[in-house]
Structure 1
Amino acid sequence: MVLFEVDELVKDLEKAELEAENCIATPEIYSQLLAVYLYQNEFVKSSCSELSQIWIVGQRMWQRDWTAVHTALNNEWSEQVANIMLALKENVRERAMSLISEAYSSVNLTVLASMTGLSLDESRQIVLDHGWTIDDTTVLPCKVDKDLPSRDALTEDQLNKLTQFVSFLEN
């Protein structure tokens, strides 16, 4: 592909991105744009260090390197993105806690701390806040069954329908 063709392709794709319905381009457009940016060695505009830092957070999340994600998130962010990055940090921490509760019957406190980006003392506190058991350095997470209320509601709904059906048959 000639350099001129790549430049034209970038212009066309960026225009398509801006003119997309509801300002949301298709995955195909984003895939092509990302591929072309990689070709041009322009992953992130290097003139903007904050954009580079956000890109690093995304890369670490993609790699599922949670310790590195938290390290990358512990950054001084501008006023424009500080709240978003704080919310992301909390979201990543909650997802890690959810993963731990689902996947582990026991986990070392140090591992939990690295997965959540917390100190050992903060990790102890969050373990207690979640109602989990901790024995020195071993955490015994409790799996939270989030489906229980919906199952009860479904059972009540089914019982109501069954009652109506039986009542209809009797009359």
Structure 2
Amino acid sequence: MDLSTVNAALAAKSYPDLAPICDDLFLQVASQGAATDGWPYAVHLLAHLYLNDLNSARFLWKTVPQEVKDAHPELAAVWKIGQCLWNRDYAGVYTSAQGFEWGPEIADFVAAFIESYRKRIFELLTSAYSTISVADVSHFMGMSEEDATNYAVQNGWSLDAAAKMLTVTKQKPQTNQKLDASKLQRLTECVFHLEH
């Protein structure tokens, strides 16, 4: 089984590409009837979690032979992260990811997953709240209260230190609308013809 494309994506830190690469390669291997003893299940599972594709992650977990699950603690540790995601145990995601001694081939991937997850949670907090307590931000972001406050303030939020509350600053959506004179001319002609 040739895992060079998987290893190349890991080396290039092309983490969003890993799930489709692993899926395609796994299907090829399975269709040829080849043994999947050396399959990088932990990487494959984490790739789906990275994309927040929990249904595919659960399906993959169910297809992993029990003896593989038992023999690879790293795979079980990735699945623990997946369970926390599924159960919306925000603090548990960080605890599970940081509470395991990852191998060198996956450690950077786990760190990238945590950073991506943290950004996604921060975006959700930004869209859902106008004010939120420092303790709640700390919980959702998997950081100490001081680190969570610094992260929020660096991203434009403001702190009421006395109340230990953060005021959310909504990001203004960027619009890159360019006025194309030819399109405007065609629209004007169309409206003119409709009116006359």
State TM-score, norm by structure 1: 0.69
CA root-mean-square deviation: 3.2
Residue 80 of structure 1, CA deviation = 1.0
Identity %: 23
Residue 163 of structure 1, CA deviation = 2.5
Q: Is residue 111 of structure 2 the alignment partner of residue 86 of structure 1?
A: yes
Distance verdict in 2 for CA 1:69–1:33, change over 3 Å: closer
Tell me what 1:149 maps to.
Answer: 175
Q: Is residue 70 of structure 2 the alignment partner of residue 46 of structure 1?
A: yes
Tell me what 1:100 maps to.
Answer: 125
Tell me what 1:4 maps to.
Answer: none
Query: 1:109 touches 1:124 (CA, 8 Å); kept in 2?
Result: yes
Residue 141 of structure 1, CA deviation = 1.0
Q: Is residue 83 of structure 2 the alignment partner of residue 63 of structure 1?
A: no
Query: 2:61 touches 2:79 (CA, 8 Å); kept in 1?
Result: no
Query: 1:70 touches 1:117 (CA, 8 Å); kept in 2?
Result: yes
Where in structure 2 are the equivalents of 1:126-137 lying within 5 Å? 126-136=151-161, 137=164
Q: Is residue 16 of structure 2 the alignment partner of residue 19 of structure 1?
A: no
**CA distance in 1: counterparts of 2:77 and 2:111, whole angstroms:** 14
**CA distance in 2: counterparts of 1:110 and 1:65, whole angstroms:** 16
Pick aligned residue for 2:185 from 151, 163, 166 = 163
Residue 19 of structure 1, CA deviation = 2.3
Query: 1:44 touches 1:52 (CA, 8 Å); kept in 2?
Result: no
Pick aligned residue for 1:139 from 163, 166, 187 = 166
Distance verdict in 2 for CA 1:17–1:140, change over 3 Å: farther
**CA distance in 2: counterparts of 1:135 and 1:164, whole angstroms:** 53
Deviation string 1:98-138 (CA, Å, 9 cap, x unpaired) is: 00000011111111011111111111111111111110110
Deviation string 1:53-104 (CA, Å, 9 cap, x unpaired) is: 1110011111111110010111321101101100000011001100000001
Structure 1 residue runs without a partner (length 5+) = 1-13, 21-26
State TM-score, norm by structure 2: 0.61
Pick aligned residue for 2:144 from 108, 115, 119 = 119
**Structure 2 counterpart of 1:70, which letter?**
Y
Query: 2:81 touches 2:96 (CA, 8 Å); kept in 1?
Result: yes
